[in-house]
Chains A and B, each alone.
Chain A
Amino acid sequence: MSNSFSLGRLFSIGNLFIKGGFSHGVHPPHHKEQTEDLPIQRVPFMKRYVMPLGQHIGIPAEAIVKVGDRVQRGELIAKPKGFISTALHSPVTGTISDVGMHRYVDGSFRMAIEIEADPYATQQFPHAQSSIDVGDMDVGQFIESVQMSGIVGMGGAAFPSHVKYSIPEEQEITDLLVNGAECEPYLTNDHRLMVERPEAVLLGCEILRHQLSAKRVAIGVEKNKPESISQLKKYLTDDMAIDIVPLEVKYPQGAEKMLIKSIYDKELPAGKLPRDIGIAVNNVGTIVALADYFEHGMPLIERIVTLAGPGVHEPANLIVPIGTPIRDVLDFAGGLKDETREVISGGPMMGSPIADLDAPILKGTSGILAFTEKETSRPSEYPCIRCARCLEACPYFLNPSRLALLGKARLFDDMQEKYNVMDCVECGACTYACPSNIPIVQHIRTAKDNLRNRKTSQ
């Protein structure tokens, strides 16, 4: 929410005239100029890789290798345990040096497989070019295949993709929605992917559309990425049932429910999944991972990471093997500046702080951002003056002002019963908009954690 004058914003009726946009939201500066024109580069192979077994939502995978085993790049090293779990593949050719507890990004220790890279290996992907014939697969085979590919949601949530594609029999998917909004400031990994590999994006769309028997595909891209839009349009042919939809630049345009509202003008009912209204939502990164898997047989062993923020010496968009220690990636880009105070995984609005730079890049790591004193120093917190800017920011029409007040008083039950705190997706728009610098989202997270823990302990 800027202070600049505009009649439409003044009376908040602008949304009435834009068909299908979502109401509320904020306009943070997008800061993408730092990396949006930097082509994707590959980082060289490092010495040591750490693959946490549980880097996706759900049950951690089960290691099938032991110390001393020699593994090829792309070889299965852990198999899914249960349905909501996914496979893990070695990002390098090398030797398993440990299966045990290793540092995770949040500072805790988690079960992980450590691989010592073979310095003399060519690190070529052994099965390159051997595509998997997706045309003959039935739905069951497709889902199993995706599970064994290790593919998860690449936008940051890291939810196993095959679970999303398992549609109950009574339901039907009519639309595949591909999320290329990339509304988080600083991040440009999805943008570069669309610019440099539009054919892979479109191919992945067609594969998935075919498998889900969806009628149409819509790729939503925020208007501040004109190059992405034009590149996709350039490779789009008439026989593809794909629409490229430019979206208003507004945070959180890339949130699932907002995206559905913007593109289909449908309000996803609270507690429902997109598939309940016939829509499957996937990130462009996930779509390209699918294309790579079915076209080249390459499982999810690397991803694109945006390295940016005022604290890095050389901002970049990098292809990073999953499991690479964050420190090595940073060093490749000239290291951190002395004035760096905080390193974030993901975007500045919803990302999480990194506690230990020795932790690895995960399947869901879309960006590594370094921030200095200027961004991290919080001006003093003032009392809430009920200015209602948070209400105007919240795209879910919650009452963040009230929630923060109740959260401070630890009245968690009231927060849910009267103000539906569980509907909050923690996008941070309220906290961005608050002139009193109240950490509203933190109060909400505390409340949600408490309510969830109470539920599970009962």
Chain B
Amino acid sequence: MKNKDPKLLLQSAPLLHQELTTPAAMKDVWIALFPATCAALWFFGLSALLIIIASIAGAVLTEWVFTDKEKRRFALSDTSAGLTGLLLGLTLPSGLPLWMAFLGGSVSIGLGKVIWGGLGANIFNPALLGRAFLLGTFPIAMTTWGPAGGPGEFFQIHSSNLALPFMQGHYDALSTATPLGLMKFEHQGTELVSLFMGNTAGSIGETSSLFLLLGGLFLLIRRSIDWRIPVAIFSTAALFSLIMLLTSSAESTTSYPSPFFTLFSGGLLLGTFFMATDPVTSPLTPKGCWIFGIGVGFLVVLIRLYGGLPEGMLYAILLMNAATPLIDRYTQPKIFGR
């Protein structure tokens, strides 16, 4: 080595990098969703599996089709498209025709991500945008809930799942109400234990609070998500529904749920841990995260109480997504020494 120089690189410092990479961060979310996905399969059987596969396929295929040829491998290598597909799948009812799930995944990525410029450039959470599309286009299919079964009924597939493309399908014996629906329209509560374990009707991935909490806790410990957003959403939603409960009059036609019911029913946990905390569509700044979380918590309770639909998480998050650029602008951190 004495007389010969190696070819020296001139890369500028820093030469050290921490180990976490963006694809690895995505892997954390996959791991965190594993318990909830297992619960979905346990309660909703093969139907749930087929829906998840259909929506992931829709998402990944769309990303593949709409990305430049040279960038395809790279774009798919971060697994974010598949993750969007899985998240969308978990928000769908078990009886949904598979082609709708596929179309939903496709819209999620196409209109929710690629059109904005790909990963990191979108304003709205892609999975929720896909769900909003499905809810607007197929309101009946999207609000017909299959009952939660057990492992014994694993291989029973809803016939509506297999509806031909662009056909609605028959909703055989499917019209169980979700806990939120029961609360809103029948003024009936649901036992907290059921909400916690997940043997209720609802979107396939949202019913089991226990497994969602496990996943959320994992993300918090790994510092994959900003802790401020879940804390803000939970405390605001709980506090606001408590205030509404305490100040409600007895003859009111609206039924006011307890804070616990608010937190553990519907898509609140799934939305909080896996969608509201999506870094791309939530604020950058710590103060912004608080405002964002408080906004989601407030809107979700408001929409659930007075909206036409029993669930409000979808629109609460999408509305706050829209406010995110503005929140970021007004919550810039105070610079050191200024």
A residues adjacent to B (C-beta < 8 A): 1-3, 5, 9-11, 26, 28-29, 107, 185, 257, 267-272, 331, 335-338, 340-344, 346-355, 357, 371, 375-376, 378-380, 382-388, 391, 395-399, 401-402, 419-420, 423, 428, 431-437, 439, 441-442, 445
Chain A residues with Cβ under 8 A from B2's Cβ?
331, 335
**Beta-carbon contact of B16 and A185 below 8 Å:** yes
Q: Report if B166 contacts A (CB, 8 A).
A: no
The interface on chain B, measured as residues whose beta carbon lies within 8 A of the other chain's beta carbons, has a size of 48
A435: contacting residue among B24, B332, B337, CB under 8 A: B24
Which of B15, B17, B18, B19 lies at the interface centre, i.e. has the most chain A CB atoms within 10 A of its CB?
B15
Q: A10-B227, A267-B337 are in contact. Are A387 and B6 (CB under 8 A)?
A: no
Chain A residues with Cβ under 8 A from B333's Cβ?
391, 397-399
Chain B residues with Cβ under 8 A from A386's Cβ?
120, 279-280, 282, 284
Bound-complex Cα distance A387 to B9 (A):
30
**Beta-carbon contact of B338 and A431 below 8 Å:** no
**Beta-carbon contact of A432 and B11 below 8 Å:** no
**Beta-carbon contact of B25 and A257 below 8 Å:** no
User: Can you identify 15 A-B contacts, CB atoms within 8 angstroms?
Assistant: A10-B227, A267-B336, A336-B1, A349-B16, A353-B10, A376-B9, A379-B21, A380-B74, A386-B120, A387-B279, A388-B286, A398-B335, A432-B17, A435-B22, A437-B17
Chain B residues with Cβ under 8 A from A341's Cβ?
6-9
**Beta-carbon contact of B13 and A428 below 8 Å:** yes
Q: A3-B223, A385-B120, A391-B333 are in contact. Are A436 and B12 (CB under 8 A)?
A: no
**Beta-carbon contact of A350 and B23 below 8 Å:** no
**Beta-carbon contact of B338 and A353 below 8 Å:** no
Q: A3-B223, A331-B2 are in contact. Are A349 and B14 (CB under 8 A)?
A: yes
Q: Report if B222 contacts A (CB, 8 A).
A: yes
**Beta-carbon contact of B6 and A340 below 8 Å:** yes
**Beta-carbon contact of A10 and B221 below 8 Å:** yes
Distance to closest chain B CB from A113 (angstroms) = 25
**Beta-carbon contact of B16 and A28 below 8 Å:** yes
- In chain B between 121 and 169, which residues have their CB closer than 8 angstroms to a CB of chain A? 121
**Beta-carbon contact of A395 and B21 below 8 Å:** no
Q: Report if B220 contacts A (CB, 8 A).
A: yes
B338: contacting residue among A269, A338, A382, A436, CB under 8 A: A269
Chain B residues with Cβ under 8 A from A385's Cβ?
22, 25, 119-120, 279-280
**Beta-carbon contact of A337 and B1 below 8 Å:** yes
In the A-B complex, list the 3 residue pairs whose CB atoms are closest, starting with the nearest: A428-B14, A383-B120, A270-B337
Q: A270-B338, A341-B8 are in contact. Are A10 and B223 (CB under 8 A)?
A: yes
Chain B residues with Cβ under 8 A from A343's Cβ?
8
Chain B residues with Cβ under 8 A from A185's Cβ?
16
**Beta-carbon contact of A445 and B12 below 8 Å:** yes
**Beta-carbon contact of A257 and B336 below 8 Å:** yes
Distance to closest chain A CB from B89 (angstroms) = 21
**Beta-carbon contact of A335 and B1 below 8 Å:** yes
Bound-complex Cα distance A335 to B22 (A):
37
Bound-complex Cα distance A397 to B8 (A):
35
